[in-house]
Amino acid sequence: MKKRVFVILLGIVFLSFLFYYQEVNAIKKVDDSWNSYSSNIYKISLRYPSNWRINPKYSNRYEGSDGFFQVGAILGDATSIDKVAEYEINSNLKPYGTSPRISKLSIDGQEARLISPSNDQSQLMNRQSELIIRYPTEIKIHDNKYNYFVLWSDKEHIVEIGNTIKFVYRYGQ
Question: Residue 70's CB: how many other CB atoms inside 10 A?
Answer: 17
* Percent of the chain residues topping a pLDDT of 90: 66
26 and 63 both lie in a single domain: no
89 and 161 both lie in a single domain: yes
Residues 72-85 pLDDT 10s: 999 877 789 999 99
More confident site: 23 or 166: 166
Question: Residue 167's CB: how many other CB atoms inside 10 A?
Answer: 20
65 and 82 both lie in a single domain: yes
27 and 57 both lie in a single domain: no
Q: What is the mean pLDDT of the chain?
A: 84
Has residue 42 been placed in a domain? yes
Looking at residue 14, its pLDDT comes to: 42
Looking at residue 4, its pLDDT comes to: 58
Residue 25 burial (C-beta neighbours within 10 Å; 0-12, 13-18, 19+): exposed
Residues 90-120 pLDDT 10s: 988 899 999 999 999 999 999 999 999 999 9
55 and 108 both lie in a single domain: yes
Looking at residue 2, its pLDDT comes to: 59
Q: How far apart are CA 134 and CA 105, in angstroms?
A: 11
23 and 40 both lie in a single domain: no
Looking at residue 31, its pLDDT comes to: 60
Has residue 173 been placed in a domain? no
Least confident of 3-12, 18-27, 128-137: 18-27
> Which whole-number Å values give the CA distances from 39 to 36, 131, 139, in the listed order?
10, 17, 12
Q: What is the CATH number of the domain that holds 134?
A: 3.40.1000
1 and 82 both lie in a single domain: no
Looking at residue 20, its pLDDT comes to: 38
Question: Residue 92's CB: how many other CB atoms inside 10 A?
Answer: 5
Q: How many domains does the chain have?
A: 2
pTM assigned to the model = 0.79
